[in-house]
């Protein structure tokens, strides 16, 4: 055991059989499992949250491939590092196969110039690229590289997978096997839950717990729930407010309000607040939902949402959470109608793509009396002069007469 290396690094799997989790892509009947076993890999982009096993999978590949394996980090590497790998790969004295696997950690941090420098060699097969990223590669990675790679999405590890990895770390001689550790399975399971799918977080917490807990008179290190709680502090945040999961969470928040599910809306609101999302950003989403999705089914929802946004701006956190929750629940539990939303979209489409005609003369403004002689405002019927404050007259241009934009549905109040 090298005590200078973190536990998560020391207990990384070396074979596919040791790899835990990601059965949806690494089950024995799955394509990725078969291609790794047969050493017939094509370029890959591994996409998933922190601690889900992207680097560990690259480690497994490095141990099983016959090709020379290189690893660089996009944060510190430049074009010169890519060129050095390519030169070695093409040197048959150093690399008789003429091919190499290049693992690029955090590939989303490569700029366009760096990605373009790599592209020709991925295209001609000199380099088999394996990129790892926590960001959506379809947004962050060169489209030409993506088109030449298999994009594989890794999921957060479930609690059973993390529990299995923790148990192995305690027994593994390269992990914590040299220590006499006493820890209940229930405590390990709680640690598995707190880590929220990130195995690195759970392993780091376990290592800190072991290294900072004094042995008893029998030379045993007793790890309790309280010790684990102090080593990990709180449940790991579910997403980074600046990452791809930010968009997934806000999308789920909006769709839960639209779908009239207040419980789901509150959960995604809590996730956003826990990750440090700007309360005003959340307030604006609620205002939009009140107009777009509730609309004429309950026009008061927009009043509530707008008042909530103003209140959030004045009050700030942590009390703003209460205001946001009230507004989100109000919008979620209101009847829904998107009639106004559909109406303005159709009208904008017509304005942008067709001749919608001239404004009728009787609706035009006549600030100067002589303009009436030209027909401006002439013949306009003032609705308040008629019974019920309503009178039939033409409002749409001649070309648009009979067009319906606002079509009431069964939920519209007026």
> Dihedrals φ, ψ of 224, to 5°?
-105, 175
CATH class of segment(s) 159-232: mainly alpha
Show contacts of 8-12: CB within 8 Å, 24+ apart. 8/199, 8/200, 8/203, 8/204, 10/172, 10/174, 10/175, 11/165, 11/168, 11/169, 11/172, 11/174, 11/175, 11/203, 12/55, 12/56, 12/59
CATH topology for 244-333 is Zinc Finger, Delta Prime; domain 3 (1.20.272)
Residue 297: predicted pLDDT: 94
Averaged pLDDT, 359-380: 82
Averaged pLDDT, 140-169: 88
Measure the CA–CA gap between 325 and 336, rounded to whole angstroms.
19
Which residues of the chain does CATH 1.10.8.60 include? 159-232
Compute the half-sphere exposure of residue 326: CA atoms within 13 Å on the CB side of its CA: 14
What is the token pair recorded at 25?
């892509």
CATH class of segment(s) 22-153: alpha beta
Residue 53: predicted pLDDT: 87
What is the token pair recorded at 133?
């990223």
Decide if pLDDT at 242 tops 70.
no
Strand partners, 45: 131, 151
Averaged pLDDT, 45-67: 87
- Least Cα distance to 227 among 263, 294, 182, 261 occurs for 182
Residue 310: predicted pLDDT: 95
What confidence tier does 3 reach under pLDDT thresholds 50, 70, 90? Answer: low
Decide if pLDDT at 235 tops 70.
no
Would you say 328 and 294 are in contact if contact means Cβ atoms under 8 Å apart?
no
Which residues of the chain does CATH 3.40.50.300 include? 22-153
Averaged pLDDT, 374-378: 83
Which residues fall within 8 angstroms of residue 111, CB to CB, at 6 or more apart? none
Answer with the residue of higher pLDDT: 247 or 131.
Answer: 131
Model pLDDT for residues 307-329, shown as the tens digit of each residue: 999 999 999 888 999 999 999 99
Compute the half-sphere exposure of residue 406: CA atoms within 13 Å on the CB side of its CA: 6
What confidence tier does 200 reach under pLDDT thresholds 50, 70, 90? Answer: confident
Which residues of the chain does CATH 1.20.272.10 include? 244-333
What confidence tier does 388 reach under pLDDT thresholds 50, 70, 90? Answer: very high
Residue 196: predicted pLDDT: 78
Would you say 299 and 368 are in contact if contact means Cβ atoms under 8 Å apart?
no
Decide if pLDDT at 123 tops 70.
yes
Residue 32: predicted pLDDT: 87
Decide if pLDDT at 241 tops 60.
no
- pTM higher than 0.75 for the full model? no
Residue 234: predicted pLDDT: 54
């Amino acid at each position: 055991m090298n005590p200078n290396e973190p536990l998560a690094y020391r207990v990384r799997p070396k074979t596919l059989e040791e790899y835990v989790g990601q059965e949806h892509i690494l089950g024995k009947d799955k394509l990725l499992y078969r291609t790794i076993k047969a050493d017939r890999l094509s370029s890959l982009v591994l996409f998933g949250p922190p601690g889900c096993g992207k680097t560990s999978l690259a480690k497994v590949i490095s141990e099983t491939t016959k090709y020379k394996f290189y690893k660089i980090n996009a944060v510190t590497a430049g074009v010169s590092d890519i060129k050095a790998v390519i030169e070695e790969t093409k040197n048959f004295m150093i690399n008789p196969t003429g091919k190499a696997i290049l693992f690029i950690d955090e590939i989303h941090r490569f700029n366009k110039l760096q990605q373009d420098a790599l592209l020709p060699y991925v295209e001609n097969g000199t380099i088999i690229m394996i990129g790892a990223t926590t960001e959506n590669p379809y947004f962050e990675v060169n489209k030409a590289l993506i088109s030449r790679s298999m994009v594989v999405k890794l999921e957060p590890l479930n609690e059973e997978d993390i529990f299995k990895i923790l148990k192995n770390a305690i027994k593994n001689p390269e992990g914590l096997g040299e220590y006499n550790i006493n820890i209940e399975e229930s405590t390990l399971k709680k640690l598995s839950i707190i880590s929220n799918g990130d195995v690195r977080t759970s392993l780091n917490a376990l290592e800190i717990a072991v290294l900072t807990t004094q042995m008893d008179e029998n030379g045993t290190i007793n790890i309790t729930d309280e010790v684990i709680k102090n080593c990990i502090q709180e449940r790991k945040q579910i997403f980074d407010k600046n990452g791809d999961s930010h968009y997934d969470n806000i999308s789920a928040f909006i769709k839960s309000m639209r779908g009239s599910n207040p419980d789901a809306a509150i959960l995604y609101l809590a996730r956003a607040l826990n990750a440090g999302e700007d309360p005003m950003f959340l307030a604006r989403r609620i205002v939009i939902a009140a107009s777009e999705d509730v609309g004429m089914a309950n026009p008061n929802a927009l009043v509530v949402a707008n008042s909530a946004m103003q209140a959030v701006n004045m009050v700030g956190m942590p009390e703003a959470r209460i205001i946001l929750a009230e507004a989100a629940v109000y919008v979620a539990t209101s009847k829904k109608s998107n009639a106004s939303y559909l109406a303005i979209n159709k009208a904008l489409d017509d304005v942008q793509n067709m001749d919608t005609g001239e404004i009728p003369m009787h609706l035009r403004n006549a600030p100067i009396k002589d303009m009436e002689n030209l027909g401006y405002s002439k013949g306009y019927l003032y609705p308040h002069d008629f019974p019920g404050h309503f009178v039939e007259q033409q409002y749409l241009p001649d070309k648009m007469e009979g067009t319906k934009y606002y079509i009431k549905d069964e939920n519209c109040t007026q």
